[in-house]
Each structure stands twice: as structure tokens, then as C-alpha cells.
Amino acid sequence: METCIFCKIVKKEIPAHIVYEDENFLAFLDIRPASPGHTQIIPKRHYRWVWDVPTEGSGNIGEYFKVAQKIAKAQMKAFDTDFILSKIMGDEVPHAHIWVFPNNTVKGDSKDLEGNAKKIRENI
């Protein structure tokens, strides 16, 4: 979709602190983090809602949630916590996305996007 900010991030038209990418999904840090390491996980193909992601074929909903799990487990290691939260979103940006983020009691600087992205990437 031409005007979708997440589609522009997928196309690398807008910079992002990417922590994970494969052929179907992209995970990057939120620019207004709720806590250090707050990550948005999106399908590269534009779907309005998470519930629109197909159940069959490449890039299906099961694969999507496996990516969310991979990011959450990396955050657990990166931020030394077992308290990882998730939210299925879609109201602020009209593109399916899942938030995965450590509890806000973890130590770290939420504004250190590059440092937090590196910590997550190193633990995937």
C-alpha cells in the first residue's frame, strides 16, 4: 500500500532499527517504546489486521507467531527478564502488527534504539 508507513519500512524507504527479517516478516524497534527493546513485528505483505494473515502457505499466521516467539525469547535474554508482554495492534497504523516488549521494570535506556536492537539481534 503506497501510503502505509510500515510498507515503506519494508521497502526500506523509511529507516528503522531492524532486529529480524526473513522473506515474509520484519521486526523493528518502535520509535516510541514502552520499554527498552519494544519491537513491532509485521508481515511484509500488507494486511490490515493480524486476523487477515492467511492460515495456509508461505507467510502464514503460524509462521508469524513463531517470529513473535523468537523475538520474545531474544528479548528475555537481552534484557535478563522472563516478563515479556505482547499486544496485537492495528489501530495506530493500518497494517497488521504485533508488539512484543519487556516489562517496563527492565534496566536500560528506551531511547537507545541502536543499542537495544543490537542486544536483541545478538540473542536471536
Query: How close are the terminal C-alpha atoms of the chain, in Å?
Result: 30
- β-bridge partners, 14: none
- Can you tell me which residue has the cell 519494508? 10
The Cα–Cα gap between 46 and 71 comes to 21
Angle at 53 between CA 42 and CA 13, to 5 degrees: 35
Annotated catalytic residue 97: yes
Separation of alpha carbons 34 and 31, rounded Å: 9
- Fill in the DSSP letter of residue 49: S
Catalytic residues: 97
